[in-house]
Amino acid sequence: MRADSSLFHRSLKGTPPLAVRGSGVRLFDSAGRDYIDACGGAAVSCLGHSHPAPIAAIRAQADQLAYAHTAFFTSEPAERLAADLVRRAPARFGEGRAMILGSGSEAIEAALKLARQYHLERGEARRAKFIAREMAYHGATLGALSVGGHVARRAPYAPMLIDVGRIPACYAYRSQASDETAEAYGLRVADALEAEILRIGPESVAAFIAEPVSGATLGCAPPAPGYFKRIREICDRYGVLLIADEVMCGAGRTGTFYALEQEGVAADIIVVAKGLGAGLQPIAATLAAQKIVEAIEAGSGALAHGQTYMSHPVACAAALAVLKTIDDENLLVNAAARGAHLRGLLEARLGRHPHVGDIRGRGLFYGVELVRDRQTKEPFPAAAQLAPKLKEAAMAEGLMIYPASGCADGVLGDHVLIAPPYIVSADEIEIIVSRFETALPRALEKAAARQ
């Protein structure tokens, strides 16, 4: 830890190591240590840290045109990126259009306003309420935090947040009953949306927002079979828009470009970020289905949501190169193969560990939930600080995994995310799991000492 810094770090209690270089799936610090980035930061660096294609695209675009304000001009990379993103959306989405922004949180804010705008254009001005799920993460800005359901992250700002309808998460490990099939569970939790719409009054509800595969706060919990089909039916029945927050699980992370595609339904608004820029540029996109575009075109013609750096040409050029690289190098196929390998190894080596409660995920997006007692699923006490201790122990082994707490009840519950770059090799997957296996008992020892 470096002691002095003028940077307002995530925690002012210390300064993290100084990263100086990235190469392939590895990051290097100023002390000469290297780390396998097994989580792509926060499921961001899908091409690793030194892929030449987007780097060349960034240089070329910066040389040609770095910036042109969107109130004056459009740009070729922004036009091409929007076309590429809507082309990848399911047929039911229609032609659609994409707004290009700078971060997941910004893109969620735009999605919420876009949903509201759609209803305003159609003369349904009462529709201003959003429904979201418990334990969801949708970003750090106030609108995104309002729809987010992570208790601890919301608590300090609760008086500043907008009032949102709330339904339980789809989280089979902790809420599927022992005598319930996965399908019956999916329908039961999806039906909570209908009850909540009726409680609020359908004429007031603008949209329902959910992560197709829950990321940071629930540790890669996939939806139960049939869950999103039922959600889609309920949204259609009451004229409520469906917003898919694919900030973390999109851009190929779960094996298809958009994660919701695997559920056989289309959202009305899709938000994608992290893997889209692969960490090479800050970029996110909010996609509006054709019916939303048509309503706005036929009405006021605009969404009042201009931002200085939207559709940034250099960021768009980087994202275009990321998408092209994913296609050209067939990286979703590699991600699926490496993901199956990762799951197999995690299950074989850690599946019976007394403190590993659940291993779950999809594609190259896995969560490992840790429990004090496998039988009762009792979480570790908050004082144990297990997830952060595991991050620390893994870093000491040269491994980056993404820790989070609160999956059990918003405060208790520890898990880590493993989401390596799509370029990861079979050997690197072996190293990731071996280092994880070494770090886990060390973290458990440290956590035990704190209880």
Ligand X SMILES: Cc1ncc(COP(=O)(O)O)c(C=O)c1O
By three-state DSSP, how is residue 151 classified?
Answer: helix
Residues 257-316 that bind ligand X (CB under 6 A): 273
Phi-psi group of 282: left, alpha or beta (phi > 0 → left; psi -120 to 50 → alpha; rest → beta):
beta
Residues 349-388 that bind ligand X (CB under 6 A): none
How far is 85 from 96, CA to CA, in rounded Å?
9
Are 269 and 244 contacting, i.e. CB atoms less than 8 angstroms apart?
Answer: yes
CA nearest 252: which of 290, 218, 283, 278? 278
First to last CA, the chain: 25
138 binding ligand X? (CB under 6 A): yes
Comparison of 368 and 384: residue with beta carbon closer to ligand X: 368
CA nearest 46: which of 268, 214, 283, 219? 283
Residue whose pair of structure tokens reads 């560990």 in the numeric block? 353
The least distance separating ligand X from the CB of residue 284, rounded to whole angstroms, comes to 6
Binding part of the chain for ligand X, among 21-29, 137-145, 157-165, 333-341 by CB under 6 A, reads 137-145
Which string of x and - marks every residue 64-103 that binds ligand X (by CB under 6 A)? ---------------------------------------x
Which string of x and - marks every residue 234-253 that binds ligand X (by CB under 6 A)? -----------x-xx-----
The least distance separating ligand X from the CB of residue 441, rounded to whole angstroms, comes to 29
The least distance separating ligand X from the CB of residue 278, rounded to whole angstroms, comes to 13
In the list 70, 75, 105, 254, the residue contacting ligand X (rule: CB under 6 A) is: 105
The least distance separating ligand X from the CB of residue 415, rounded to whole angstroms, comes to 14
The least distance separating ligand X from the CB of residue 141, rounded to whole angstroms, comes to 7
The least distance separating ligand X from the CB of residue 419, rounded to whole angstroms, comes to 11
Which string of x and - marks every residue 395-414 that binds ligand X (by CB under 6 A)? --------------------
**Residue 118 carries which DSSP code?**
H
Residue whose pair of structure tokens reads 């403190």 in the numeric block? 355
Write down the H helix ranges in 269-312.
290-298
Residue 133 phi, psi dihedral angles, 5° rounding: -105, 155
The least distance separating ligand X from the CB of residue 201, rounded to whole angstroms, comes to 27
Comparison of 153 and 353: residue with beta carbon closer to ligand X: 153
108 binding ligand X? (CB under 6 A): yes
CA distances to 69, 250, 337 from 246, rounded to whole Å, are 27, 4, 22
By three-state DSSP, how is residue 42 classified?
Answer: helix
- The count of chain residues that interact with ligand X, using the rule CB under 6 A, is 16
The least distance separating ligand X from the CB of residue 298, rounded to whole angstroms, comes to 30
220 binding ligand X? (CB under 6 A): no
Residues 422-451 that bind ligand X (CB under 6 A): none
The least distance separating ligand X from the CB of residue 277, rounded to whole angstroms, comes to 10
How far is 9 from 445, CA to CA, in rounded Å?
28
139 binding ligand X? (CB under 6 A): yes
Comparison of 140 and 187: residue with beta carbon closer to ligand X: 140
Comparison of 418 and 440: residue with beta carbon closer to ligand X: 418
In the list 17, 28, 42, 295, the residue contacting ligand X (rule: CB under 6 A) is: 42
Residue 406 phi, psi dihedral angles, 5° rounding: 105, 5
137 binding ligand X? (CB under 6 A): yes
How far is 390 from 384, CA to CA, in rounded Å?
11
CA nearest 189: which of 231, 151, 156? 231
Helices (H) and strands (E) in the chain, counts: 14, 15
How far is 176 from 332, CA to CA, in rounded Å?
30
146 binding ligand X? (CB under 6 A): no
Are 423 and 432 contacting, i.e. CB atoms less than 8 angstroms apart?
Answer: no
Q: What is the greatest pairwise CA distance in the chain?
A: 64
Comparison of 135 and 320: residue with beta carbon closer to ligand X: 135
| Chain CA centroid to CA 346, Å | 22
Comparison of 246 and 397: residue with beta carbon closer to ligand X: 246
Residues 180-219 that bind ligand X (CB under 6 A): 211, 215-216
Q: How many other β-carbons are positioned within 10 Å of the β-carbon of residue 39? A: 25
Comparison of 380 and 402: residue with beta carbon closer to ligand X: 402
Amino acid at the residue 370 = L
The least distance separating ligand X from the CB of residue 273, rounded to whole angstroms, comes to 5
The least distance separating ligand X from the CB of residue 112, rounded to whole angstroms, comes to 12
345 binding ligand X? (CB under 6 A): no
Q: Name the residue number minimizing CB distance to ligand X.
A: 104
Please spell the DSSP secondary structure of 51-113, one letter per residue: -HHHHHHHHHHHHH-S---TTT---HHHHHHHHHHHHTS-GGG-S-EEEEESSHHHHHHHHHH
Comparison of 109 and 121: residue with beta carbon closer to ligand X: 109
Site of interaction with ligand X (CB under 6 A): 42, 103-105, 108, 137-140, 211, 215-216, 245, 247-248, 273
